[in-house]
Structure 1
Amino acid sequence: MIRAFAAAIFDGTTVVHDPAVGTNHLPPRPIPAGCVGLDDHEVALWPLADPSVLALDYPLSMCWSPIVRCNLTCPQCLDDKSVRESTAEERRVLASHIAASGVLGVDISGGEPLLLRDLPDLAHAIRSTGTSVVSCTTNGWHLARRAGELSGALDAIRVSLDGATAATHDTWRGQDSYRRAVKGICAAVQEGLFVQLQMVLMQANEHEAQKLLDLAARLGAGGVTFLQMLPIGDGAALAAEQVLTDEQAQETVGPLTVPPGVRVRLRTRKSAGGFTVLRADGFAWRNTRGATGISAFVPVTGPDDLRLPTPGSSS
């Protein structure tokens, strides 16, 4: 499948960002800078880029959570719900700063971003410079009704499923969440959106990892990302009974049988360190200590403010 990626050149090294999987790759052939259509099967074979060895003036990718509100109350949620939510005008300004920063990939999260009426406008604004690709992470509850308007605004959509069955998923997300999410996935695929399923990997659902891969193949999703649970926010109360070590997660995901056309990623807590997050009140930080701490905390008043100091730096 040909889909959108973003490329940039750092001191002669070309890096390609995948908006669905969230990975960065080193292409073995020349790729023009900017947004470019590439075969996702080809990109999957390219080696991963290590941001720590690149001369970066800005993050390769980032998460933007412009909304705090959510229609669900998941007990493993990591969001800080005490944060002030930005206004529509503040969101518009922040989107323009992101667009001008040069960042390759932006995942719009929350809260639940599909509660934002201006979500398509925000995505278009970020993509307007032709340097960034945009994804969105959603619980899928409202995806079926919004898939049509999002298909021209997003380069990929990530749908959270905490189980491959309604019995498991709805235990965490609430009654009817599984049916609504699956309906939304089908609608998004029909609209031509590239869909990546995401599971927060826990003791309670790791047994359904293989079933989730098989479900992705049946629904026409392009892949599955297994996310290591972060013991922060509401999820801190569940850490003792639900958190898997990175080694345990590898033991779960490594032996899985991957259906043709499905891409799989395990995002460990270690790999989440150093990631840039822009939260709803306009402050940005970098993750540290396995994404359980921060190394910078600055108000974003312009694109340069997204060039955060790296962990361990003196700035």
Structure 2
Amino acid sequence: MIAYSPPVPAVDPTARSAGDEGPSRAEEPVVFTDGHHFHLAASADLEAVAAVAAGPLSVILQVTKRCNFDCSFCSETLQESDPTLAALERMRDNLAGVPRVFLSGGEPLLRRDLIDIVDMFTGTVIGVPTNATRGIQHARRLAGRVAFVNVGLEGPRATTNRVRGDYDTVMEGVRAFQDAGLPLSLSAVVYRSTLTALPFTYQIADLLDAGKLKLILPLKKGNALDLADHEFITVEEATATFDRLAELRTVHDWRPALRLTAWTPDTEGHMIVIGPSGQASAWPVYDAPDLLEPLGSLLNEPITEVWRRYRFKRNHYAKYLGQSIQTLSRSDRPPAGPVTGRIVHA
């Protein structure tokens, strides 16, 4: 596990003062794991940690809206100009104290100056969500600079080609990431028509030694407005899907962590997304236009002010700490027999 001092006061009253080197590993309420997600220490309480938090655990910073794919589930279809490096520096300064930043898109690897952006966030847990199609161009320079790359892959060739884009080009980029020694995770958007592909997706994640496989249900926005209604599975079906993958994980000894996010009241608004203009928003807010609830501009004020008016604090911490979604950690080894995943409702 990679430990760090999160933007929350230590729950343990013996934690060191701000003038010392920071709380010890044992005193930290939250750690970042080799499964590329956050974990709450056994001695810490979610409600207490969320209640005293001065800022988020993680934010998504869109460094571009441009993309070279046209994924059938894409919600980011409205275009904006790329932020300048100067604007990104201001946002970086206003994000001080946030443990993890996703440098996202669009497709972030389309930015030729991506390494300059990555270097701005040195000292932060940096995740880069990507379709990997520019992996050959960027992999070696990203190595040692980011915590992990998160590659979108819905399954074997035919499934990924239908849902997302060119499987072979994606895998060329993935191999470049591996050759450069970059830690890797996979994410897949789940349709009813892709359920049969998911065991193969999990096996691919295991073969790649991915830190985690993250499964996400689509939201009705952007391109996904054109999806047939039957492609959207229910929370109950998502639970059954997770349980089946957990059983297969036991049978085949697959190692990556497994996470599945369904859109329930407990996951509403859990993400803080910062658009290219610096506008911060809660996402997804089910009754808001474009599912985004504006929170303020990161160009003009620090994240602590944005956090103060953010009304999904508990959902944010519950989701990122795996307590409102279905999870199996990389170290979990479920016992033989029936395995039950969980969606915990507050």
Q: TM-score range by the shorter chain?
A: 0.7 to 0.9
Task: Give the whole-Å Cα distance in 1 for the aligned partners of 2:243 and 2:270.
Answer: 24
Hey, what does 2:282 align to over in structure 1? 286
Question: Is the 1:204–1:242 Cα contact (8 Å) retained in structure 2?
Answer: yes
User: Residues 217-236 of structure 1: CA distance to partner in whole angstroms, max 9, x if unpaired?
Assistant: 11232221001112112212
Question: Identity percentage over the alignment?
Answer: 24
Task: Give the whole-Å Cα distance in 2 for the aligned partners of 1:81 and 1:265.
Answer: 28
Which amino acid in 1 is paired with 2:116?
Answer: D
Tell me which of 168, 177, 184 is aligned to 1:179.
Answer: 168
TM-score (norm: length of structure 2): 0.74
Q: CA deviation at 1:84?
A: 3.6
Map of 1:90-169 to 2, 5 A cutoff?
90-98=87-95, 100=96, 102-127=97-122, 130=123, 132-162=124-154, 164-169=155-160
TM-score (norm: length of structure 1): 0.81
Which amino acid in 2 is paired with 1:299?
Answer: S
After superposition, the Cα gap between the structure-2 partners of 1:117 and 1:6, relative to the gap in structure 1 and judged at 3 Å, is farther
After superposition, the Cα gap between the structure-2 partners of 1:28 and 1:266, relative to the gap in structure 1 and judged at 3 Å, is same
Question: Is the 2:72–2:223 Cα contact (8 Å) retained in structure 1?
Answer: yes
**Which structure features the higher share of strand residues?**
1
Question: Is the 2:183–2:211 Cα contact (8 Å) retained in structure 1?
Answer: yes
Q: CA deviation at 1:20?
A: 7.6
Q: CA deviation at 1:178?
A: 0.8
After superposition, the Cα gap between the structure-2 partners of 1:19 and 1:28, relative to the gap in structure 1 and judged at 3 Å, is closer
Over the residues paired in the alignment, what is the CA RMSD in angstroms? 2.7
Task: Give the whole-Å Cα distance in 1 for the aligned partners of 2:312 and 2:46.
Answer: 21
Q: CA deviation at 1:103?
A: 1.0
Which amino acid in 2 is paired with 1:309?
Answer: R
Hey, what does 2:261 align to over in structure 1? 267
Question: Is the 2:7–2:53 Cα contact (8 Å) retained in structure 1?
Answer: no
Task: Give the whole-Å Cα distance in 2 for the aligned partners of 1:107 and 1:272.
Answer: 19
Question: Is the 1:19–1:134 Cα contact (8 Å) retained in structure 2?
Answer: no
Q: Which is further off, 135-144 or 289-298?
A: 289-298
After superposition, the Cα gap between the structure-2 partners of 1:170 and 1:312, relative to the gap in structure 1 and judged at 3 Å, is closer
Which amino acid in 2 is paired with 1:173?
Answer: R
Map of 1:1-315 to 2, 5 A cutoff?
4-8=2-6, 10-13=8-11, 14-18=28-32, 23-28=37-42, 49=46, 53-98=50-95, 100=96, 102-127=97-122, 130=123, 132-162=124-154, 164-174=155-165, 177-238=166-227, 240-256=229-245, 257-258=248-249, 259-270=253-264, 271=267, 273-289=269-285, 293-300=291-298, 301-304=300-303, 305-311=305-311
SS in 1 for 2:129: strand
User: Residues 33-92 of structure 1: CA distance to partner in whole angstroms, max 9, x if unpaired?
Assistant: xxxxxxxxxxxxxx9956884311111111111101111111210114233432232223
Task: Give the whole-Å Cα distance in 2 for the aligned partners of 1:268 and 1:200.
Answer: 11
Structure with larger Rg: 2
Q: CA deviation at 1:239?
A: 5.8
Q: CA deviation at 1:297?
A: 3.4
Q: CA deviation at 1:312?
A: 7.4
SS in 2 for 1:91: helix
For these two proteins, the number of residue pairs brought into alignment is: 286
SS in 2 for 1:247: helix
SS in 1 for 2:205: helix
SS in 1 for 2:127: strand
SS in 2 for 1:231: coil
Query: Unaligned regions of 5+ residues in structure 1, if any?
Result: 30-46
Q: CA deviation at 1:173?
A: 2.5
Task: Give the whole-Å Cα distance in 2 for the aligned partners of 1:51 and 1:118.
Answer: 40
Q: Which is further off, 228-237 or 288-297?
A: 288-297
Question: Is the 2:100–2:125 Cα contact (8 Å) retained in structure 1?
Answer: yes
